[in-house]
Amino acid sequence: MTSSSPSPVRWTARAALLIAVCLSLAWTAPAQAQRRRRDESDVTPKSSPRFLGAFREVVARPRQSTVQIRCEGKDVALGTVVGADGWILTKASELHGKPQVHLADDRTLEARIVGVHEEYDLALLKVDARGLKPIEWQDSKVATAGTWLATPGLGAEPLAVGVVSVATRKLPPSSMSAAPTGGFLGISMEAADDGVQITQVLPGSAAAKAGLKVKDLIVTVQGKEVDDPEQVIKVLRKTRPGDLVPLHIKREDEELDLEVKLGKWPALGRADFQNRLGSELSERRTGFPSILQHDTVLKPSECGGPVVTLSGKAVGINIARAGRTESYAIPAEVVQSLIAELKSGKLAPKAGKSE
């Protein structure tokens, strides 16, 4: 396989050519924009056929490792082949119904959900197939700010192209990013000795109404000890607005038992409204412990597949369309570390999620 890979020198020349084409398109875009009708104003230089065509060779290999995920006859996500014998990763929260996988060779196969990693919103699927082409990985540290990225689909050209906005980083846990479908508590937190410490309380939230304060130490949630914010978030993802959640907290020298009535997620504010102007946002778009952020414009149904550099190797799996200029990917090194655990059966989905 190594004999078919482009040499570093060849890729340097190719990268220079791609960037030259991109810059040329960027310079000509203003003049072209003047001639566009108003109802065509959503067509940007980076989404033009000419621009995407310049990246055709970049996605030639990774598109063979990209699949379409369907549920109840609808395209709900992309998937990434991670094992030649039918192992495929995708975005878990988009799987409503029994999934099918449409392969690059035009076959459509029934899939079984083997494992679900809730924090990263990843699901591992298994199909009855052999000889699939697993994605080639590359550590996300090579994707520094400004690095060109392409998102392959099943076609010859990429679905979209963008650049890295913020290199791989860890995100602080927050109940405000647990999931927009669960009950809303309204706190930010961090790990501390003997519990989880509250670092922010949103005014008017369920937490504020229950009397929670900054620096309070959450010791138990629903009677279970917690020492990591992710444990609190996991509980909240399983709740609904109106649910009562008992907390045992420490406040300086006091120990208190509080019962919090969870609220509804806040209505869209101005910032969220502006974010949605760019494109539809993913239902689950926050709460990931580590992400690579880029400005590629994706649809929620185009998440779950690989995102690659000019080498054609994946630096991550697109996991959410998070804002007008924000898409998130789970870094490649994180994804690779989770595959064995997802295969093990320890993260099997709950009854009813998959048969």
Same domain, 164 and 61: yes
Percent of the chain with pLDDT over 90: 60
Q: What is the dihedral of CA 230, 235, 241, 247, to 10 degrees?
A: -90
Same domain, 146 and 183: no
Pick from 58, 46, 220: nearest CA to 136: 58
- Confidence (pLDDT) at 170: 84
Q: Decide if 272 is inside a domain.
A: no
- Confidence (pLDDT) at 204: 85
- Confidence (pLDDT) at 249: 96
Q: What are phi and psi of 265, to 5 degrees?
A: -65, 140
- Confidence (pLDDT) at 47: 79
HSE at residue 336, side-chain half, CA atoms within 13 A, is: 13
- Confidence (pLDDT) at 181: 58
Which residue is listed with tokens 């999934």? 99
Q: How far apart, in whole angstroms, are the C-alpha atoms of residue 291 and residue 268?
A: 24
Same domain, 102 and 159: yes
Q: Decide if 278 is inside a domain.
A: no
Same domain, 152 and 218: no
- Confidence (pLDDT) at 220: 95
Same domain, 319 and 248: no
pLDDT digits (tens, 9 = 90+) for 154-196: 999 999 999 999 999 987 655 554 445 578 888 888 888 889 9
What's the CATH code of the domain at 85? 2.40.10.120
Same domain, 132 and 87: yes
* Structural domain for 100, as ranges: 56-171+288-355
Same domain, 335 and 346: yes
Q: Decide if 156 is inside a domain.
A: yes
Same domain, 164 and 296: yes
- Confidence (pLDDT) at 195: 92
- Confidence (pLDDT) at 320: 94
Q: What are phi and psi of 314, to 5 degrees?
A: -80, 125
- Cα angle at 22 between 20 and 23, to 5 degrees? 65
Q: Decide if 283 is inside a domain.
A: no
Sign of the CA dihedral with 30 first, then 35, 37, and 42 last: negative
Q: Output the average pLDDT for the chain.
A: 84
Q: Decide if 268 is inside a domain.
A: no
Which residue is listed with tokens 């409503």? 96
- Confidence (pLDDT) at 48: 85
Q: How far apart, in whole angstroms, are the C-alpha atoms of residue 136 and residue 130?
A: 17
Same domain, 159 and 300: yes
H/E element, 292: strand 290-294
Q: What is the pTM of this model?
A: 0.68
- Give every residue of the chain whose pLDDT is below 70, as ranges: 1-44, 172-181, 266-279, 351-355
Instruction: Specify whether the backbone of 31 is left (phi greater than 0), alpha (psi in -120 to 50) or beta.
Output: alpha
Q: How far apart, in whole angstroms, are the C-alpha atoms of residue 307 and residue 335?
A: 12
Structurally, the chain folds into a number of domains equal to 3
- Show Cβ contacts of residue 60 under 8 Å, excluding neighbours closer than 6 positions: 156, 312
- Confidence (pLDDT) at 208: 93
- Confidence (pLDDT) at 235: 87
Same domain, 236 and 129: no
Compute CA 90 distance to the chain's CA centroid, rounded to the nearest angstrom.
10
